[in-house]
Structure 1
Amino acid sequence: AMGRTNQLPDNLPQLQNLIKRDPESYRAEFEQQYRRYESNLQVFLLQPSEDAKSLSELTMFIGQVANCYPDLVGEFPEQLCEILKRHASALNPEIRMMFCRALMLLRNKNLISPSSLFELFFQLFRCPDKLLRKTLYNFIIQDIKNLNTGHKDNKLNRTLQNFMYTMLSDSNEMAAKMSLTVMADLYHRKVWNDAKTVNVISTACFSKFTKVLSASLRFFLGQDKQDSASDGDSEEEGPSARDIIMRFATNKKSTRAKAKRDKALKALNRHKRKSKKQNTDFSAIHLLHDPQGFSERLFKQLQKCNESFEVRLLYIIVISRVVGIHQLFLFNFYPFVQRFLQPHQRDVTKILLSVAQASHELVPPEIIRPIIMTIANNFVSERNSGEVMGVGLNAVREICSRCPLAMTEDLLRDLTQYKTRHDKSVTTAARSLIQLYRRINPAMLLRKDRGKPTEASTELQTSEYGQLVVRDYIPGTEALPEVPEIDESDPVQDGWEICSNASDNDGSWIDVSSDEESKVPTEDPTEQMDPETKVQKAQAISQMRIITQEEFQKVKAQQAAKEVLPAARKRKVVTLNEQQSGELVALNDIELVHKRRPHDRESRMALVLAGREDREKFGRKKAKMDPFASTTNKEKLKKKPFMMVREKMKKKKSGRSFRDKQLALRASLLKRAKHY
């Protein structure tokens, strides 16, 4: 035992284990190691760039057992922080990493405040050490997430956000970029999803570094890389690949079990690919304090920037989304984008998407009208292909759906003439434009394109620019009963318990007809009402009672039925899904071009090969145990040249039955008779 104790100064892992078990018994040994650390540190500070293996080992040893002697190591964290602040760039990379790991250990043991440590780590982002930056980044994200678990530490969050505001304008590009990445990641993890974080990130859009401003612009587009495995909510329901593997691992090993396992894994991967959606988040644009000033500054920077086309396209998309979501006035933006509206322009569909996104009903029609004319002249013309014309018509439709007054009657009637063109993409786009104006303003269409009048078209009120149609009732509530229906099966109504009569309950079963349970009203209750009566009933119901969620679904179905069914006709109640237009335009709505299926051999073979993916191969199910084993005579016969087996084939033919010979002779005689 004495010999083992004498070896303790040289065996730090063993001493660390013993100290954690019994700190007080090994206090003297720890003090000896701490004095050794201080002497090595004094020597190391004379030449900080040198490698000091013993110092790094002592530093990690003290960091592991510092919580056992907090009175002795009070100055230890401050010493490490001071060394890293003064000599961060001059330190050996391994020593610098070891000091940072020791500070992480101290932070996990709550021996150092998070604010001072994070400020130091953000300053260390300036070091040209990729591994160090990645390690610090992961630690900062995880520690801030742990600090805000349960309840948020608002004081610490405000301190760190104020410090990051200064780091975003740092002269070092990498430090600014890493600070921005930390804030964006914390926002997507819903740790810092407040307005202050978004507005601090918005200042990075005006950075002098291209990487920083492009990353901040992608943040507002929801295109940054998000860690889907960070939150438990992102896990999909159903078994995972590990569950399937473990389930088959416990069963008997066989070829059939292996085939079943592979089939289950392929089905799981196919389901994941189908259910995978693009993870985007546009809520950051809603949290901007001054969207008008933000968009004006962005547009001013766009006009004078000399960046690549990808960065300028990011500017255009972000400005259009801010203008469209907040319905801002930025009149100079539309003529600026108008010069890019050419079919040969790179990423022209995204530019068309931005124009549609920046259009809203508060923009004067004379501002949007030149853009629609440019699209119609450059895209919807006979010299372009059908796909280009379809994209142009789709873009016009999306712009007019947000700003209907920008379309003129003559241009609309010219564009609707393409509904009879012999190109499916063009006809589909032209008919979708007709359907749009049937719903919002049928009077602008030709009489033959207006379709049959519906109840919705008779109630339609066309508004001028700046005019709002205000109603004192909810349209469609005339289909609801004036007295809310009471569910008698619910024992509690309005807080009162309904008691049944004892004489009615004799303990026997009550026969309930299945026809009464499934009885659903098929006729519309508003069929015999005139328009004035409908309005009066809707006013009474909207103002005198509370409408439930189920009744709102009935109201939506009633409004959808008005757009589909004729006005003067006996009709039944229908349930339709109302198409809700979101605040963002989808790129697929503009690129929705219907093409003919290609008929050349290459494209057909590509479709065939694509359909064979994730499909079992035909042929022998049970594979050989040894692929180099010998084959059977039957398999050898299949691979022989034809000249070797020709005589055997003749013998097989001569051995035919009488009936087979009779049929063959009859077929040959019929074939010979046809030639004559």
Structure 2
Amino acid sequence: MSQKSRNNKLPDNLPQLQNLIKRDGASYREEFLQQYRHYQSHLEVFRLKPSKFIRTLNELVTFIAQIAQCYREELATYPQELCDILQTHGTVLDPTMRMTLVKALILLRNKNLIPATSVLELFFKLFRCQDKLLRKTLFNYIISDIKNVNAKHKDAKLNSTLQNFMYTMLRDNNHTAAKMSLDVMIDLYRRNIWNDAKVVNVISTACFSKVTKVLVAAMKFFLGHNEESDEEEDDYDSDNEQKEPTKQIKKAKVNLKIGKKTRKRMRKMDKELKMVKKVRHGKKAPNFNFSALHLLHDPQEFCEKLFQKLQTSNERFEVKLMMMDLISRLIGIHQLILCNFYPFLQKFLQPRQKEVTKLLLFAAQASHALVPPDLMEDVLKTIANNFITERNVTDAMAVGLNATREICARCPLAMGDDLLQDLVQYKSHRVKSVITAARSLLHFFRETDPDKLRRKDRGKPTEAQRELITNQYGEVNALNYIPGAEALSLSKDDDENGNEESDEWEECEDEDDSEGEWIDVHHDAELKASGSESESGDENEEELDEAERIKKAQEILSTRILTQAEFRRIQKRQLAKQLHDRPRGKKRKLDQVSRGELPHLSNIESIDKKHKSDKESKMAAHKAEKESREKQSYHRERSDPFASTTNKEKRKNKNFLMLRPKATQRRNKRSFREKQVLLRDNLLRRAKLRRKKKI
């Protein structure tokens, strides 16, 4: 029989039969039934010894799965048969045979011949198999199948069933199956497929697992590790941030061009630029990458249980650090009260403690306005006694001052007057890093609570300090007006005209900046006049006392809805209050600045210090210095460039052999008599040495 005739034998050529059945299933019904009977007979033999690999059965399983949609009635029980085999003998099957059965079920599921619930629950149980390739295949398919099911609309029934099943899988005795089930839920949450509170609370139960891998994976999920935190900002807002220099900055630039550039005016302009940058950074909303923490049903109970586990845990120190990090973030975000956490954290606040900067960060994260000031004051005293002392290195002192500033930013009442005055004295330290950290703490209290500082450390008072309000512990003061709204006019038309004029003025100023040093005197005179008018308007506003300002702001807010341009004008007014001096004879009130954003590790570790460079950077710097030294070396200039060089200059370019010392040259010029005398003396010296050796 030829090769071609053998290939055309349908019972023996399953791929060809499969192709023909897909084209015309009714014509090849008998051939299919023959192959199906072969499958059933091999299946009976396989059940006697499931660990054995049967090649024929392996091929028939794939063949039937490919054509199952053509004979739905005959193969109605086929998917359930495969599920029963994997359910009963999944852990003892041959890896190749098991992978074939799994792929057959995936094919049937894609053709919608088997419900998703039974298949996915079976696949979760197969995570117990010691087959890495199988687990990876199951993981990818579970993610893709659930994604496809919820693509058009959420299948609440399927999601609820699977989530309940996964809750039981997290407590499975097989650690690998529990870890893979947790990874599936985490991946679905990050893909925004399962992003509801139920999934988060199911994952939260894994934080109390006795398996370290499961525990660490759950805590990394809540801490936001391996998660992209790229934020897409609105184009309109970003453009406004770039194109919105304040009116005070523009006036300062124009006045600096027209008038004399004195040091006082330059310092004032630098101060205004710093304030603008600070306001722009403050406009950004708090950046929280911990949305999962906000979906917990009972964060207080979860935090208490996790802290109890931390106290009795025998895990590695790195795992304990993650627990402390999660507890501190929960306390800071939900403003929880967990009094025992702070004394527990104080035991680790030592300069030589491993990962001490992270521990200081946890102390800052766990601080908020509702924490009793006594607890946080003890933490600050511990940091001051262990870090901010002369017996420590300067880096430890700077880090301690930075941590103190971050804690005070979230719990200002924790700082005592005596401790603050002692820490502020480090502003005159001999090391720059300590000076910078101490001054940052000083500037913070100048803006938030200057009465805690000595009179000489309060700095120059500003108009904004008049509106500050000091809240005691547990006190909340709600304002019924927007500070700075008194800068608007009572008539909306006047504000719109003023905004148009200011926009035109800003466009003209941008054009002048593009022209470099050239100044249009006439145009600048008009700008100066307009600036003087605006300054006179500001002076009129300053003439109003505090009660009149509040009344005017309330009246403006009650009559209309403010636009974005008006909000920008209010912001400029608030910025001007921080830049301008406070009028004398008026009493100030303090304000407690609310800090909603969690601190960053860089705020504590940032040290103003010149770090040591490595060998490559040193060599590069040495080479650059050598080149600059050669360029700057002294060269005597000749009066006549065409004159001949001197003998001294010519000697520098001669060969070394031509410049030997005179003694060497004299040796070559000895006379015959001198050579005889030297030879005689040499022979006599050698004879004398021989006689001494014989004796």
| TM-score grouping bracket, smaller chain normalisation | 0.7 to 0.9
Report Cα offsets for 1:274-323 as digits up to 9, x if no partner. xxxxx983100000000000000001111111111011111100000001
Residues 101/403 of structure 1: CA separation in 2 closer, same or farther (3 Å cut): same
Once the 2 structures are TM-superposed, how far is the Cα of residue 423 of structure 1 from its aligned partner? 1.6
* 1:463 equivalenced with 2:463 (yes/no): no
Letter in 1 for 2:138: L
**Cα distance change, pair 515–373 in 1 and its aligned pair in 2 (3 A):** closer
User: What is the one-letter code of the residue matched to 2:45?
Assistant: V
Contact 1:598–1:604 under 8 Å retained in 2? no
1:662 and 2:632 correspond: no
What is the TM-score normalised by the length of structure 2?
Answer: 0.73
Partner AA of 1:593 in structure 2: I
Q: Which whole-Å CA distance do the structure 1 matches of 2:49 and 2:422 have between them?
A: 82
Q: Does 1:376 align with 2:381?
A: no
Native 8 Å contact 2:91 2:129 kept in 1: yes
Q: Name the residue aligned to 1:560.
A: 575
Counterpart residue number, 2:618 = 604
- Give secondary structure in 2 for the equivalent of 1:315: helix
Question: Which residue of 78, 81, 84 maps to 2:80?
Answer: 78
Q: How far apart are residue 528 of structure 1 and its match?
A: 1.2
- Matches of 2:39 and 2:314, distance apart in 1: 54
Is the contact made by 1:526 and 1:534 (CA closer than 8 Å) also made in structure 2?
no
**1:85-134 deviations in Å (ceiling 9; x for gaps):** 10011100111111001100111111111111111000011111111111
- Residues 561, 94 of structure 1: CA spacing in aligned structure 2 closer, same or farther, 3 A cutoff? farther
What's the offset of the Cα at 1:583? 2.4
Cross-structure match for 1:538? 553
User: 1:580-618 deviations in whole A, cap 9, x for unaligned?
Assistant: 955211110000112124367565248899xxxxxxxxx
For the 8 Å contact 1:324–1:583, the answer to whether it is kept is no
Tell me the residue number matched to 2:662: none
Shift of 1:19: 1.9
Which amino acid is 1:108 matched to?
Answer: N
CA distance in structure 2 between the partners assigned to 1:514 and 1:469 by the alignment: 40
Q: Which residue of 1 aligns with 2:283?
A: none
1:195-274 aligned within 5 A: 195-224=197-226
Q: 2:603 aligns with which of 585, 589, 598?
A: 589
Aligned to 1:58: 60
Q: Specify the code of the residue in structure 1 equivalent to 2:604.
A: I
Distance 2:143 2:480 in 1: 51
Distance 1:517 1:441, change over 3 A: closer
Which amino acid in the other structure matches residue 420 of structure 1?
Answer: S
Contact (CA 8 Å) 1:168, 1:179: kept in 2 or not? yes
**1:639 aligns to what?**
none
Q: Distance in 2 between matches of 1:322 and 1:350?
A: 16
Structure 2 vs 1, CA of residues 408 and 71 (structure 1 numbering), >3 Å: closer, same or farther? same
Superposed counterparts of 1:599-638, under 5 Å: 601=615, 604-605=618-619
- My pick for the range that moved more, 112-121 or 545-554, is 545-554
State the shift of 1:385 in Å. Answer: 1.5
1:474 aligns with 2:476: no
Which amino acid in the other structure matches residue 308 of structure 1?
A: R
Q: Between Structure 1 and Structure 2, how many residues are aligned? A: 543
CA change 1:555–1:350 in 2 (3 A) is same
Q: Which has the higher contact order (CA 8 A, sep 6+)?
A: 2
One-letter amino acid matched to 2:601: L
AA aligned opposite 1:397? R
CA distance in 2, matches of 1:226, 1:129: 30
Which residue among 350, 366, 372 is the counterpart of 1:342? 350
Shift of 1:560: 3.2
Structure-2 change in CA distance of 1:466 and 1:149 (3 Å): same
Q: Shift of residue 556 of structure 1?
A: 3.1
What residue number does 1:408 align with?
A: 416
Whether 1:527 aligns to 2:543 is: no
How do 1:27-66 residues align onto structure 2 when only pairs under 5 Å count?
Answer: 27-66=29-68
1:259 aligned partner? none
Are 1:327 and 1:362, in contact at CA under 8 Å, matched by a contact in 2? yes
- Choose which of 85, 99, 102 in structure 1 pairs with 2:101: 99
Mark the CA change 1:324 to 1:7 in structure 2 (over 3 Å): closer, same or farther.
same
How far apart in 2 are the matches of 1:162 and 1:410?
57
Correspondence for 1:161 among 160, 163, 166: 163
**Contact 2:426–2:438 (Cα < 8 Å) also in 1:** yes
User: If each structure's helix is expressed as a fraction of its own residues, which one has the higher value?
Assistant: 2
Write the distance in 2 (CA, Å) between the matches of 1:517 and 1:379. 52
Cα distance, 1:561–1:37 mapped onto 2, change above 3 Å: farther
Unaligned runs of 5+ in 1: 235-278, 490-512, 570-578, 610-657, 670-676
State how 1:325-474 maps to structure 2 within 5 Å. Answer: 325-474=333-482
CA contact (8 A) 2:410 2:595 kept: no
Residue of structure 2 in register with 1:141 after alignment: 143
User: Are the aligned partners of 1:222 and 1:280 in contact in 2 as well (CA < 8 Å)?
Assistant: no
Equivalent residue, structure 1, for 2:238? none
Aligned to 1:648: none
Q: Is the 8 A contact 1:37 1:59 kept in 2?
A: yes
| Aligned residue in 1 for 2:269 | none
| Distance of 2:195 and 2:614 partners within structure 1 | 53
1:419 and 1:428 in contact (8 A); partners too:
yes
1:528 partner letter: N
Distance between the aligned counterparts of 1:103 and 1:434, measured in 2? 68
State whether residues 476 and 538 of structure 1, in contact with CA within 8 Å, keep that contact through their aligned partners in structure 2: yes
Farther-moved stretch of structure 1 (32-41 vs 355-364): 32-41
Q: 1:18 to 1:43 in 2, by over 3 A?
A: same
- 2:184 match: 182
Name the structure 1 match of 2:116. 114
For 1:38, give the aligned amino acid. Q
Contact 1:33 1:58 (C-alpha < 8 Å) held by counterparts: yes
CA RMSD in angstroms comes to 3.1
Could you tell me how far 1:404 is from its partner in structure 2?
Answer: 0.4
Moved more, 132-141 or 53-62: 53-62
Aligned residues with identical type, % of pairs:
55
Structure 2 unaligned spans of 5+: 234-286, 498-502, 510-526, 585-592, 624-639, 652-695
Alpha-carbon distance in structure 2 between the residues aligned to 1:10 and 1:487: 89
Contact 2:495 2:566 in 1 (8 A): no
1:215–1:224 CA contact under 8 A, matched in 2: no
State the distance in 1 between where 2:621 and 2:331 align: 42
Q: 1:487 to 1:137 in 2, by over 3 A?
A: farther
Q: Deviations over 1:138-157 (max 9, x none)?
A: 00001111111121111111
The alpha-carbon deviation at position 367 of structure 1 amounts to: 0.8
Greater shift after overlay, 216-225 or 434-443?
216-225
SS in 2 for 1:662: coil
Equivalent residue for 1:615?
none
Distance 1:295 1:594 in 2: 36
Change (3 A) 1:299 1:51: same
Q: How is 1:288-299 mapped onto 2 (pairs within 5 angstroms)? A: 288-299=296-307
Describe the shift of the 1:476–1:28 C-alpha distance in structure 2 as closer, same or farther (beyond 3 A).
farther
Asked if 2 retains the 8 angstrom alpha-carbon contact of 1:188 and 1:226, the reply is no
Q: Structure 1 counterpart of 2:88, which letter?
A: R
Structure 1 stretch 355-364 or stretch 552-561: which is displaced more? 552-561
Aligned counterparts of 2:615 and 2:506: Cα–Cα separation in 1: 60
